[in-house]
Amino acid sequence: MPGDLLPFSSLCRDAVGRERTFRVLERLLTERERRTADDVAFLSMKTPILLTPMNDRMLVRFLVAALASAALTAPAATLTAVPMQGGMVMPMIAYQAGMGRLHVMLDPAIPQLTPLAVSHPGDGFAPEDPWFEALDPSRQGLAFSRRYGFVMNTETDPLPDGTKIWLRKVTGSPELGAFRYANTAPKAFEPIFGTAGSPSAMAWSGMMFHPTFTAPAGTNEYHATFDAYLADAVSGVEIPNTSTGPFEMTWTTVSDGRPTLGIATKLAISWAVVPGNYVLESADSLPAANWTPVATPPLTIDGKPTVLLEPAAAARVYRLRQIP
């Protein structure tokens, strides 16, 4: 261990300092969050400061062993909240009294919808939480992000009396889900913005609002177009010409490592195994002058030789011809 790596504090030269070092280590290693890569980096940056010149080798060895065991054997955690999956990306809404309409300012950052299996390997959600079915890796395991959040621009003019802001999803990928999320009792994960037949628009209080957006884990990019408009505070009826106009929100996704399933409808031609060699032939129709061998080799399915063909092949006729 090169000594010049160690701008160690005098605290750590004595027993009290060492004790403190171990308490810090103990705390770091028992905190569940400390298992992410960021925190490993954090640990490795901080630890040299905590070392003493006398026992640094020992401590480093201890640390390496402890980190490895923290990474490999720390028990899976049960999360009781839905992680943001990154920093906030906030479309800022303002009312411009001079124009009589709402205005939006966008942050160009693009959130990544990330499944829990990728962001928190081995962890799960609590089965009693309303997002369990959608987000838990043992259930749908959807990729998700709470990074987008609607917020009022502090520069906004006061809203006209008797009006309220509504947020509306105009168009978007059908696989992109949106949910109103609440982590404090009563916990909530309610479909919004057209998800699961919900209305495409909702009244907004103007308080910072981070819905949970979801999509199947994979490598697709998702887009949705939103707008914000003023509506009558009582009736909810839109006030014409107050909309921000459409603005687009974009997400990338990340795979959870599961290969994509393929599914196809095929024509299956099979026959019983009997002594002798047979070849499968086909013709356009009966009676047939020309029979041609089917090029697709048979697979064994349910113990029988079976040729799988495209559905259109059902229009042809088939026979087995014995060959020497």
CB of residue 106 to Cu ion, shortest distance in Å: 14
CB of residue 102 to Cu ion, shortest distance in Å: 18
Q: How far apart are CA 173 and CA 312, in angstroms?
A: 32
CB of residue 168 to Cu ion, shortest distance in Å: 20
Q: Residue 121 or 149: which CB sits closer to Cu ion?
A: 149
Q: Residue 101 or 146: which CB sits closer to Cu ion?
A: 146
CB of residue 109 to Cu ion, shortest distance in Å: 12
Structure tokens at 232: 């009558």
Q: Residue 208 or 301: which CB sits closer to Cu ion?
A: 208
CB of residue 146 to Cu ion, shortest distance in Å: 9
Q: Residue 8 or 148: which CB sits closer to Cu ion?
A: 148
Span near Cu ion by CB under 5 A; candidates 68-76, 148-156, 219-227, 298-306: 148-156
Q: Residue 108 or 197: which CB sits closer to Cu ion?
A: 108
Among 5, 126, 208, 314, binds Cu ion (CB under 5 A): 208
Q: Residue 17 or 86: which CB sits closer to Cu ion?
A: 86
Return the bridge partners of 168, or none: 201, 227
Structure tokens at 315: 């229009």
Q: Is 149 in the site for Cu ion (CB under 5 A)?
A: yes
CB of residue 189 to Cu ion, shortest distance in Å: 18
Span near Cu ion by CB under 5 A; candidates 66-74, 142-150, 223-231, 301-309: 142-150
CB distance 253 to 221 below 8 Å: yes
Backbone angles phi, psi at 43, to 5 degrees: -60, -50
CB of residue 114 to Cu ion, shortest distance in Å: 18
Q: Residue 88 or 239: which CB sits closer to Cu ion?
A: 88
Among 6, 88, 92, 105, binds Cu ion (CB under 5 A): 88
Span near Cu ion by CB under 5 A; candidates 72-80, 82-90, 139-147, 158-166: 82-90
Q: Which residues contact 317 (CB under 8 A, 6 or more apart)?
A: 282, 283, 284, 285, 286, 288
CB of residue 80 to Cu ion, shortest distance in Å: 20
Q: Which residues contact 145 (CB under 8 A, 6 or more apart)?
A: 84, 85, 86, 111, 112, 113, 114, 212, 213, 251
Determine whether 281 is exposed, middle or buried from the number of CB atoms within 10 Å of its CB (0-12, 13-18, 19+).
Answer: middle
Q: Residue 90 or 280: which CB sits closer to Cu ion?
A: 90
Q: Which of residues 215-244 bind Cu ion (CB under 5 A)?
A: none
Instruction: Give the total of residues touching Cu ion (CB under 5 A).
Output: 3
Judged by the rule CB under 5 A, the positions of this chain that interact with Cu ion are 88, 149, 208
